Structure formats: structure tokens, C-alpha cells
Amino acid sequence: MKSNFKKSLLVAMLCSGQAMAQQTINQVLTLRSNQANSTEVIMYKTDDVNFYSLFSNSSGFGLYNSNTNKNILYADINDRIGIGTQTPLAKLHVNGVIRAMHSVAEDNSGDFENESSSGYGLFSRGGGGAPNLYSFKIENYNGVPVMLADGNSNVGIGTLTPKEKLSVNGKIRAKEIKVELANWPDYVFEEGYQNQSLAEIEQFIKQNKHLPGVPTAKQVEQEGVELGEMNKVLLKKIEELTLHLIEKEKKLDQFNTDLKKRDEAIEALISRIEKLEKVNK
């Protein structure tokens, strides 16, 4: 009964409009509806449970699925195509998940290319503030993470749980790395800076087995090293050591001066003794 009704509906649609098949060079089939709002072609299987319809209206042309009660595809009058939406906002607007793949046996590579003279080359939005909701994620064929951006705006390479703006689980090779820092330790050379004595440093080392202000081996193993801060610490130690060397050099110069004066005094004394010995002879 339902089948006969739908068939009758289709015939009625075709008859109520004007169906013209013109045998021309272009082989054109024209469907024209008397209805002002739309033209529609319905397609269904013999069970009549679900059907698809091609339709056109004043806004565009689409393909409708009765099973989901949604439009599968829609092309509007501005040459924009929507998949899963009847209001496309771009040349191709997809409301849903996109998946493209090639067979491994075909030895083909997936290709995505986007070129823009103005605006974004690639734009991705997502996450919503949750770390495990990624706005961008790339995996290798085995599902191992290659690169991602999480909901906290942290980027991870080789890790699913980036803790910083950039977390890398692996080695990095670069020709240059620039770290911007404040409070560079030139204050060591200011007047009034209290530099620890070598005796105090020696005592600290005996008790703690590392230099003052330098993280321990356990801390480095558990927390890693902040390169910028570590450079500041090492430079501070170099500057403090330089002050110690300058101080030691001054003391050594003074010692050499005093030693020279002592030698000169001894030589003068020896000369006087020799003169006295000659007089007594």
C-alpha cells in the first residue's frame, strides 16, 4: 500500500510540473515544478522504508535522507557546498567527521594542500579548555602521537600530555635557540655584592654535595633543567669565580711585590755584611 502511494506521489509530482526530455547534443533532461518553492525527485527501495530525494529551491540544490531526516549534501546559490548542513559558510563546509585514506598496497600518500594570499593557511579550533580535547592532532600509521595541540593551548611532540607550551618527548636538533630572560646576573659585579668565600663554599659542598644555588642531581632527574635559568645560574657561578680569581691575583701580586722587597732587603743586607767583613780583614 505504501509503495503504491509513493509511486503515485512521484507520478503526481512529475505530472503536476512539466517534464521535458530533449534529444539534443547536450542530452538535457529538464524537470520544472509548478510550485514556487522547490522541485523534488524522490528515490526509494522496494521496501519503501527509507527514501532519498533530490531537491532544488530558491536557495540551492540538495540531497535529502529520510532515515536521518537531514540533508546529506547541499549546494547553495553562492557556489558553496555543505555536507551535513544546509547553510554552508565556505566553499566546502562539512558538519561532521572527515576521513580520507589510501590502501597501503597502493603506496599512495594522503595529500592536503591549502593556499591563501590573505588569512589563515590552516585554521583548527577545539579543545574547550580540557587537556584531552585536542584542537589539532597527528598520529603515525600505528596510532603513536606525532604532534598535537591540547585544550590548554600546549603543543606536544611525541607526547599526549604536554605540560608546557611546547613539550617534546625526544631529541631536538637546532642551529640556534634563543631564550629571553630577565635579571641577568650582572649584579654580581655591583659594589656591595657579598660573594661567598671559598671556605664557605667548601663547607657547603661537604654538607650538600653540590654547589650553592645549583639543583641537585635528583632534582634534575625528576624535573629536568630549565635551560634559560640554568644558564643564569652557571653564569653567576662563573662571575663569582672570576671575582675570586681577581682577588687571588691581587693577593698573589702583592705577595710577589712583598717577596721582591724582601729579596732586595736581603741582598742589601748581604752586601753590607760583605763590606763589613772586608773592613775587618
- Tell whether 227 is covered by a domain: yes
Q: Which pLDDT tens digit goes with each residue over 141-182?
A: 788 889 988 888 899 999 988 989 999 999 999 999 888 888
Q: Which of 160, 159, 157 shows the shortest CA–CA distance to 133?
A: 160
Q: Which pLDDT tens digit goes with each residue over 224-249?
A: 888 899 999 999 999 999 999 999 99
- Reported confidence tier of residue 15, pLDDT bands at 50, 70, 90: very low
Residues 89 and 157 in one domain: no
Domain boundary among 173, 206, 231: 173
Residues 67 and 127 in one domain: no
Instruction: State the cell numbers at 26.
Output: 547536450
Residues 169 and 190 in one domain: no
Domain boundary among 148, 173, 198: 173
Q: Which pLDDT tens digit goes with each residue over 174-210?
A: 999 888 888 899 999 999 999 999 999 999 999 999 9
Domain boundary among 173, 198, 215: 173
Residues 168 and 190 in one domain: no
**Average of per-residue pLDDT across 56-75:** 86
* Domains contained in the chain, number: 3
**Average of per-residue pLDDT across 70-76:** 89
- Tell whether 115 is covered by a domain: no
pLDDT of 56: 83
Residues 166 and 189 in one domain: no
pLDDT of 7: 47
Return mean pLDDT, the chain: 81
CB 96 within 8 A of CB 84: yes
Residues 89 and 16 in one domain: yes
- Tell whether 99 is covered by a domain: no
- Tell whether 8 is covered by a domain: yes
- What is the residue range of 152's domain? 123-173
pLDDT of 18: 42
- Tell whether 111 is covered by a domain: no
Residues 129 and 189 in one domain: no
pLDDT of 175: 92
Residues 230 and 273 in one domain: yes
- Tell whether 258 is covered by a domain: yes
E-strand stretches of the chain: 18-22, 28-32, 38-44, 51-57, 60-65, 70-76, 81-83, 92-94, 136-139, 145-149, 155-157, 166-168
Q: Which of 34, 80, 32 shows the shortest CA–CA distance to 60?
A: 80
Structure-model confidence comparison of residues 24 and 32, the more confident one: 32
